[in-house]
Chains A and B, each alone.
Chain A
Amino acid sequence: MNGIATLLAISCLLLLGSSRLLVSIRMVAFQGVLLGLLPLFVAGSGHIGAAALILTITNIGLKSILLPWLLTRALFESGARREIEPFIGFGASIMAGVVLLAISGYIVNRLQSTAEISSSITLIAGFFMVFSGLFLLITRRKALTQTLGFLVLENGVFTTGLSLGSEFSVYVELGILLDVFVGIFLMGIMLFHIDREFDHLDVDRFNELSDLTVDVASNEEASE
């Protein structure tokens, strides 16, 4: 349990620091596997119910096989390999990640007096994943990385939910998983379309959309 939470936190930090998109996708897939294992541990050894098993299988199937495959395809279609320098650099991102980790530790520490928490470290990891997902969404320029940020955010919500309640509702979790699947699927389709229309996935440049071709050309020169 502690080991999984620690690995989740470390994979988030790696995600914040990696500039290669393929590595980022693999990292999110790895998080999916860890998340899939989590319900088995929460259920407690001895009585692993069918519910936990279903959740594990759907989680791993969805988050570490299907969605990464989809995103990898989008990646190869677009031909982009690397994230360009984000608004906050990679080194600074990791430092920000450490600060976020400390903040989540502080929040959980405050929560401990009021809520019933089965594992505070898993909860810290959950909060940290939510924060780092948001951080990725805000600071990265490529649509693909933002999608990954959304996925990490959702992973964080899942982890937080698991560590807060002693028992989880399979139907709610499965519903959320379906939601996420549809969401990421739509985002994948959007990625294809953005790529086909503009030849890049750089969301930042959408700020300067205009019909004037001259404008766009000069903007592109400036950003190159």
Chain B
Amino acid sequence: MISPSSILICLVMIVLSPLLPGIINKTKAFFGGRQGPPVLQLYLDIAKLLRKTSVYSQTTTVVTRIAPFVILFSTLAAALLVPVAFRGAGVSFTGDIILLAYLLGIGRFFMVLAALDTGSAFEGMGAAREVLYSALAEPALFCGLLVLISETSQTSLSAIYEKLTAECWWQNPMTFLLIAVSWMIVLLVENARIPIDDPNTHLELTMIHEVMILDYSSKDLALIEFAGAVKLAVFSSLLVGLVFSGNELSLPLQLLAFAAAMALVAIVVGVVESTIARFRLLHVPKFIVGSGALAIIALILKLSGN
């Protein structure tokens, strides 16, 4: 089912998505007592990168050239599949959940391939970590979705989110709280945010996401940065749809509420980043498996029926 108005909203969300990292950085700056970079910083960065010429290592192959486009377009396609502004997704059909997860998977796969393609030892390490962490985070996402499917008996993301109302929260507060927490952790993992990975780190040994894009410059880097922001928006809107419901509101109110909720998610991420130190690498898998365990507890709570 294709809904033109939702596609339009989705495009607006994609264009505005670089604001989210800006809000996160502002929050962190507030906690640090600094003024911080402007909220529009990522737009400025992308504009600057787009004006430069690309440099490619001689050892790289065509994979490195096409990877940024695959990453960007798979993420954009994923953005079309998530419900936005409490109005359903731009494109929805039975089982679009699985397509959503694996579109993001394709983007990750190409990022890993490109990292391996450069032949740098550090990038290989980053790729290994990225694959491990996202493999551990996937059960959490899917167990949460399973609970929602059995709660609403719908199989399309838009239909599920349409049926999720405040009433569901009142009936099973514990279940939904567990899913929300585990999805928040999935959001942090998938977008390489602090307790998992530090986006500002400068030590290749401990980087995860940043190390994989070390060899990219200029336009390619701009595409990847933009794709990262869109990915953050995709996960945030999943979380927003789970936590808030605004099906009955009028369109302008829905848009306003959605924007506010997305900003709230970004602020929460910023608060988490400012208050929690980054975990040691060895502890990260434990943490992610724990988030999966929360989702599984939610599933058991749901299945045992009270």
Whether the Cβ atoms of B306 and A120 lie closer than 8 Å is yes
Answer whether residue A95 sits at the interface, using C-beta atoms and an 8 A cutoff.
yes
Which residue of chain B has the shortest Cβ distance to A14 in the bound complex?
B290
Instruction: Say whether, besides A2-B306, A108-B304, A121-B304, A91 and B296 are in contact (CB < 8 Å).
Output: no
Distance of A88 from chain B, by nearest CB (Å): 13
Contact with A along B268-306 (1 / 0, CB 8 A): 000000000000000001100110111011001101111
Which residues 114-159 of A have a CB within 8 angstroms of B? 119-121, 124
Contact between chains at B303 and A101 (CB < 8 Å): no
* Interface residue? B174 (CB, 8 A): yes
Q: Which of B178, B292, B306 contacts A98 (CB 8 A)?
A: B292
A3 surroundings in chain B (CB, below 8 A): 173-174
A188 at the B interface (CB under 8 A): no
Is A124 within 8 A of B300, CB to CB?
yes
Cα distance A14–B300 in the bound complex, in angstroms: 18
- Evaluate contact between B289 and A94: CB separation under 8 angstroms: yes
Range class of the B interface residue count: 10 to 19
Q: In chain A, residues 75-132, which have Cβ atoms closer than 8 Å to a Cβ of chain B?
A: 90-91, 94-95, 97-98, 101-102, 105, 108-109, 119-121, 124
A17 and B297 in contact, given A119-B306, A120-B304, A120-B306 (Cβ under 8 angstroms): no
Q: In the complex, what's the smallest C-beta–C-beta distance from B154 to chain A, in angstroms?
A: 24
What A residues does B290 contact at CB under 8 A? 13-14, 17, 94
Q: Is the CB of B293 within 8 A of A6?
A: no
Sample of 16 further A-B pairs with CB below 8 A, known A13-B293, A101-B293: A2-B306, A6-B174, A9-B297, A10-B294, A17-B286, A17-B289, A90-B286, A94-B289, A94-B290, A98-B293, A105-B300, A109-B304, A119-B306, A120-B304, A121-B300, A124-B300
The 4 nearest A-B residue pairs measured at CB:
A120-B304, A105-B300, A91-B286, A94-B289
A-B contact pairs, 20 of them (CB 8 A): A2-B174, A2-B301, A2-B306, A6-B178, A6-B297, A10-B297, A13-B290, A13-B293, A17-B286, A91-B286, A94-B286, A94-B293, A98-B289, A98-B293, A101-B297, A102-B300, A105-B300, A105-B304, A120-B305, A121-B306
Instruction: Give the A-binding residues of B (Cβ under 8 A).
Output: 173-174, 178, 285-286, 289-290, 292-294, 296-297, 300-301, 303-306
